[in-house]
């Protein structure tokens, strides 16, 4: 469930980044590339990095989610306490 929430939030973030790139392309009248404008270059890289890394994070979230669930489980904490006592 948490993964789905973050997937939706990430999709909204990607849409915002893509709209930023489109807005700057229209503002600077650049169809291809970055036209040498540093603001457009930054927006393109921000969008590109998000497209590269967000899907990997979403795929790995269930793996980390299971670990968090295990850590919040009382059995794991009791086991750690038992190791410390014995």
pLDDT in tens, 57-85: 888 877 766 665 665 666 667 777 788 87
Q: How many domains does the chain have?
A: 1
Average pLDDT, the chain: 84
Ramachandran bin of 28, using left for φ above 0, alpha for ψ from -120 to 50, beta for the remaining angles: alpha
Please check whether residue 47 is in contact with residue 21, taking contact to mean a CB–CB distance below 8 angstroms: yes
The pLDDT value recorded for residue 65 is 64
Model-level pTM? 0.68
pLDDT value, residue 56: 87
Give the domain range for residue 67: 2-85
Q: What are the percentages of helix, strand and coil residues in the chain, rounded to 5?
A: 85, 0, 15
């Amino acid at each position: 469930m948490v993964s789905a929430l973050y997937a939706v939030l990430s999709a909204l973030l990607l849409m915002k980044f893509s709209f930023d790139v489109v807005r700057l392309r229209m503002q600077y009248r650049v169809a291809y590339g970055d036209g040498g404008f540093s603001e457009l270059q930054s927006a393109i890289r921000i969008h590109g990095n998000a497209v590269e890394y967000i899907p990997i994070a979403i795929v790995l979230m269930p793996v980390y989610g299971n670990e968090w669930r295990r850590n919040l489980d009382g059995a794991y904490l009791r086991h750690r306490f038992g190791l410390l006592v014995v």
